[in-house]
Structure 1
Protein backbone atom coordinates (compact mmCIF):
# COMPACT_ATOMS: atom_id res chain seq x y z
CA UNK A 1 0.00 0.00 0.00
CA UNK A 2 1.27 3.47 -0.87
CA UNK A 3 0.79 6.16 1.76
CA UNK A 4 0.79 9.71 0.44
CA UNK A 5 2.11 12.82 2.14
CA UNK A 6 1.57 16.17 0.40
CA UNK A 7 4.27 18.77 -0.27
CA UNK A 8 5.06 20.56 2.96
CA UNK A 9 4.42 17.47 5.10
CA UNK A 10 6.98 17.26 7.95
CA UNK A 11 9.77 14.77 7.29
CA UNK A 12 9.58 13.36 10.82
CA UNK A 13 5.91 12.39 10.49
CA UNK A 14 4.88 9.23 8.70
CA UNK A 15 2.19 9.75 6.03
CA UNK A 16 -1.48 9.42 7.03
CA UNK A 17 -2.57 5.80 7.55
CA UNK A 18 0.99 4.46 7.59
CA UNK A 19 1.74 2.33 10.66
CA UNK A 20 2.38 4.53 13.72
CA UNK A 21 1.69 7.71 11.79
CA UNK A 22 -0.35 9.30 14.60
CA UNK A 23 2.39 8.54 17.16
CA UNK A 24 4.95 10.28 14.94
CA UNK A 25 2.52 13.18 14.44
CA UNK A 26 2.06 13.62 18.19
CA UNK A 27 5.82 13.61 18.79
CA UNK A 28 6.44 16.16 16.06
CA UNK A 29 3.55 18.38 17.16
CA UNK A 30 4.85 18.38 20.73
CA UNK A 31 8.23 19.49 19.35
CA UNK A 32 6.50 22.56 17.88
CA UNK A 33 4.94 23.53 21.22
CA UNK A 34 6.30 24.88 24.50
CA UNK A 35 7.94 22.07 26.50
CA UNK A 36 5.28 22.33 29.21
CA UNK A 37 2.70 20.86 26.81
CA UNK A 38 4.40 17.46 27.18
CA UNK A 39 3.07 17.28 30.73
CA UNK A 40 -0.59 17.30 29.65
CA UNK A 41 -1.80 13.76 28.95
CA UNK A 42 -4.99 15.04 27.31
CA UNK A 43 -2.92 16.37 24.40
CA UNK A 44 -1.36 12.95 23.75
CA UNK A 45 -4.75 11.25 23.98
CA UNK A 46 -6.41 13.77 21.65
CA UNK A 47 -4.01 14.66 18.82
CA UNK A 48 -6.51 17.00 17.15
CA UNK A 49 -6.48 19.18 20.27
CA UNK A 50 -2.68 19.10 20.27
CA UNK A 51 -2.56 20.04 16.60
CA UNK A 52 -4.86 23.01 17.14
CA UNK A 53 -2.79 24.26 20.10
CA UNK A 54 0.39 23.78 18.07
CA UNK A 55 -1.15 25.79 15.23
CA UNK A 56 -2.02 28.66 17.56
CA UNK A 57 1.44 28.56 19.12
CA UNK A 58 3.26 28.63 15.79
CA UNK A 59 0.97 31.42 14.56
CA UNK A 60 1.82 33.48 17.66
CA UNK A 61 5.55 32.86 17.17
CA UNK A 62 5.28 33.94 13.56
CA UNK A 63 3.37 37.09 14.56
CA UNK A 64 6.10 37.83 17.10
CA UNK A 65 8.80 37.53 14.42
CA UNK A 66 6.84 39.88 12.14
CA UNK A 67 6.41 42.34 15.01
CA UNK A 68 10.13 42.15 15.71
CA UNK A 69 10.83 42.97 12.08
CA UNK A 70 8.81 46.18 12.39
CA UNK A 71 10.53 47.20 15.65
CA UNK A 72 14.11 45.92 15.53
CA UNK A 73 15.86 48.87 13.90
CA UNK A 74 14.26 51.43 16.19
CA UNK A 75 14.59 49.33 19.34
CA UNK A 76 18.21 48.32 18.80
CA UNK A 77 19.90 51.14 16.87
CA UNK A 78 21.05 53.02 19.99
CA UNK A 79 22.30 49.90 21.75
CA UNK A 80 24.07 47.95 19.02
CA UNK A 81 26.29 48.55 15.98
CA UNK A 82 24.42 48.74 12.67
CA UNK A 83 25.85 45.44 11.43
CA UNK A 84 24.54 43.65 14.54
CA UNK A 85 21.11 45.22 14.06
CA UNK A 86 21.09 44.03 10.43
CA UNK A 87 22.23 40.55 11.48
CA UNK A 88 19.41 40.46 14.03
CA UNK A 89 16.92 41.43 11.33
CA UNK A 90 18.31 38.62 9.15
CA UNK A 91 17.63 36.20 12.02
CA UNK A 92 14.04 37.43 12.26
CA UNK A 93 13.55 37.09 8.50
CA UNK A 94 14.88 33.54 8.53
CA UNK A 95 12.77 32.61 11.53
CA UNK A 96 9.61 34.06 10.00
CA UNK A 97 10.24 32.03 6.83
CA UNK A 98 10.93 28.85 8.83
CA UNK A 99 7.77 29.37 10.86
CA UNK A 100 5.72 29.83 7.68
CA UNK A 101 6.75 26.31 6.67
CA UNK A 102 6.03 24.93 10.13
CA UNK A 103 2.62 26.61 10.10
CA UNK A 104 1.80 24.92 6.80
CA UNK A 105 3.04 21.55 8.07
CA UNK A 106 1.02 21.81 11.28
CA UNK A 107 -2.07 22.62 9.20
CA UNK A 108 -1.51 19.56 7.01
CA UNK A 109 -1.04 17.28 10.00
CA UNK A 110 -4.13 18.71 11.68
CA UNK A 111 -6.17 18.17 8.51
CA UNK A 112 -4.99 14.55 8.33
CA UNK A 113 -5.80 13.97 12.01
CA UNK A 114 -9.30 15.25 11.24
CA UNK A 115 -9.62 12.66 8.46
CA UNK A 116 -8.40 14.41 5.31
CA UNK A 117 -6.38 12.26 2.94
CA UNK A 118 -4.21 13.49 0.15
CA UNK A 119 -4.42 12.11 -3.37
CA UNK A 120 -1.39 10.60 -5.02
CA UNK A 121 0.27 12.98 -7.44
CA UNK A 122 1.96 12.23 -10.71
CA UNK A 123 5.29 10.45 -10.22
CA UNK A 124 8.04 12.79 -9.12
CA UNK A 125 5.65 15.53 -7.93
CA UNK A 126 4.83 14.41 -4.39
CA UNK A 127 6.19 12.55 -1.43
CA UNK A 128 5.35 8.85 -1.26
CA UNK A 129 6.25 6.40 1.42
CA UNK A 130 5.76 2.65 1.43
Structure 2
Protein backbone atom coordinates (compact mmCIF):
# COMPACT_ATOMS: atom_id res chain seq x y z
CA UNK A 1 0.00 0.00 0.00
CA UNK A 2 1.41 3.40 -0.90
CA UNK A 3 1.90 6.26 1.50
CA UNK A 4 -0.49 8.94 0.39
CA UNK A 5 0.02 12.34 1.87
CA UNK A 6 -3.22 13.73 0.56
CA UNK A 7 -4.52 15.59 3.58
CA UNK A 8 -7.86 14.82 5.14
CA UNK A 9 -8.20 18.61 5.42
CA UNK A 10 -5.90 21.63 5.22
CA UNK A 11 -5.20 21.18 8.92
CA UNK A 12 -4.07 17.55 8.56
CA UNK A 13 -0.39 17.34 9.59
CA UNK A 14 1.85 16.91 6.55
CA UNK A 15 4.13 14.38 8.28
CA UNK A 16 1.21 12.08 9.14
CA UNK A 17 0.11 9.76 6.36
CA UNK A 18 -3.62 9.58 5.84
CA UNK A 19 -5.73 6.92 7.56
CA UNK A 20 -5.88 3.65 5.70
CA UNK A 21 -2.26 3.82 4.56
CA UNK A 22 0.30 1.42 5.95
CA UNK A 23 1.72 2.59 9.30
CA UNK A 24 -0.36 5.75 9.36
CA UNK A 25 -0.77 5.28 13.12
CA UNK A 26 3.01 5.12 13.47
CA UNK A 27 3.40 8.42 11.66
CA UNK A 28 0.68 9.89 13.87
CA UNK A 29 2.44 8.73 17.04
CA UNK A 30 5.78 10.16 15.90
CA UNK A 31 4.15 13.51 15.08
CA UNK A 32 2.24 13.65 18.36
CA UNK A 33 5.40 12.86 20.36
CA UNK A 34 7.16 15.77 18.66
CA UNK A 35 4.52 18.11 20.08
CA UNK A 36 5.39 17.18 23.65
CA UNK A 37 8.47 18.07 25.69
CA UNK A 38 11.27 15.54 25.11
CA UNK A 39 10.96 14.08 28.60
CA UNK A 40 7.58 12.58 27.66
CA UNK A 41 9.20 10.19 25.15
CA UNK A 42 10.11 7.90 28.05
CA UNK A 43 6.53 7.49 29.26
CA UNK A 44 5.51 4.19 27.69
CA UNK A 45 1.91 4.62 28.81
CA UNK A 46 1.64 7.56 26.41
CA UNK A 47 3.62 6.01 23.58
CA UNK A 48 1.74 2.71 23.67
CA UNK A 49 -1.69 4.31 23.58
CA UNK A 50 -1.99 6.70 20.63
CA UNK A 51 -5.34 8.11 21.74
CA UNK A 52 -3.91 8.92 25.18
CA UNK A 53 -0.88 10.49 23.52
CA UNK A 54 -3.19 12.59 21.33
CA UNK A 55 -5.21 13.68 24.37
CA UNK A 56 -2.07 14.77 26.18
CA UNK A 57 -0.78 16.62 23.11
CA UNK A 58 -4.09 18.49 22.89
CA UNK A 59 -3.86 19.47 26.57
CA UNK A 60 -0.24 20.56 26.12
CA UNK A 61 -1.12 22.77 23.17
CA UNK A 62 -4.12 24.26 24.99
CA UNK A 63 -1.85 25.23 27.88
CA UNK A 64 0.68 26.74 25.48
CA UNK A 65 -2.09 28.78 23.85
CA UNK A 66 -3.14 30.12 27.26
CA UNK A 67 0.47 30.97 28.15
CA UNK A 68 1.04 32.84 24.87
CA UNK A 69 -2.24 34.76 25.30
CA UNK A 70 -1.23 35.85 28.81
CA UNK A 71 2.21 36.86 27.59
CA UNK A 72 0.68 38.82 24.72
CA UNK A 73 -1.92 40.54 26.91
CA UNK A 74 0.58 41.59 29.55
CA UNK A 75 3.67 42.50 27.56
CA UNK A 76 2.81 46.21 27.06
CA UNK A 77 2.39 46.64 30.80
CA UNK A 78 5.21 44.41 32.03
CA UNK A 79 8.00 44.61 29.45
CA UNK A 80 8.74 48.34 29.88
CA UNK A 81 9.48 47.67 33.55
CA UNK A 82 12.11 45.17 32.37
CA UNK A 83 13.74 47.81 30.18
CA UNK A 84 12.38 46.47 26.87
CA UNK A 85 11.98 49.15 24.20
CA UNK A 86 8.70 49.99 22.46
CA UNK A 87 9.71 48.60 19.05
CA UNK A 88 10.86 45.35 20.65
CA UNK A 89 7.57 45.09 22.50
CA UNK A 90 5.64 45.52 19.24
CA UNK A 91 7.81 42.86 17.57
CA UNK A 92 7.14 40.58 20.52
CA UNK A 93 3.39 41.07 20.13
CA UNK A 94 3.67 40.12 16.45
CA UNK A 95 5.72 37.06 17.40
CA UNK A 96 3.02 36.00 19.88
CA UNK A 97 0.29 36.51 17.28
CA UNK A 98 2.15 34.23 14.84
CA UNK A 99 2.68 31.66 17.57
CA UNK A 100 -1.04 31.68 18.40
CA UNK A 101 -1.84 31.00 14.74
CA UNK A 102 0.62 28.11 14.64
CA UNK A 103 -0.61 26.62 17.92
CA UNK A 104 -4.22 26.88 16.77
CA UNK A 105 -3.33 25.06 13.55
CA UNK A 106 -1.54 22.35 15.55
CA UNK A 107 -4.54 21.98 17.86
CA UNK A 108 -6.82 21.47 14.84
CA UNK A 109 -4.38 18.87 13.49
CA UNK A 110 -4.33 17.01 16.80
CA UNK A 111 -8.14 16.94 16.85
CA UNK A 112 -8.21 15.51 13.31
CA UNK A 113 -5.62 12.85 14.14
CA UNK A 114 -7.46 11.97 17.37
CA UNK A 115 -10.74 11.56 15.51
CA UNK A 116 -9.03 9.36 12.90
CA UNK A 117 -7.42 7.22 15.61
CA UNK A 118 -10.79 6.74 17.26
CA UNK A 119 -12.40 5.78 13.93
CA UNK A 120 -9.57 3.36 13.13
CA UNK A 121 -10.47 1.26 16.12
CA UNK A 122 -7.73 2.23 18.51
CA UNK A 123 -8.82 0.67 21.78
CA UNK A 124 -9.86 3.16 24.43
CA UNK A 125 -7.46 3.67 27.29
CA UNK A 126 -8.24 1.23 30.09
CA UNK A 127 -8.85 2.72 33.49
CA UNK A 128 -6.82 1.20 36.30
CA UNK A 129 -8.97 -0.53 38.87
CA UNK A 130 -8.69 0.99 42.28
CA UNK A 131 -8.48 -1.64 45.00
CA UNK A 132 -10.12 -0.86 48.33
TM-score w.r.t. the length of structure 2 is 0.82
The equivalent residue for 2:69 is 66
Structure 1: unaligned runs, 5 residues or longer: 117-130
The equivalent residue for 1:14 is 17
In the TM superposition, 1:1-130 aligns within 5 A as 5-78=8-81, 79-115=83-119
When you count strand as a share of all residues, which structure comes out higher?
1
C-alpha displacement at 1:7, in angstroms? Answer: 2.4
Cα distance in 1 between the residues matched to 2:77 and 2:98: 19
RMSD: 1.6
TM-score w.r.t. the length of structure 1 is 0.84
For residues 46-86 of structure 1, what are the alpha-carbon distances to aligned partners after superposition, in whole Å with 9 as ceiling and x for unaligned? 00000000000000001111111110111102311101111
Cα distance in 1 between the residues matched to 2:99 and 2:7: 28
**Equivalent pairs, count:** 116
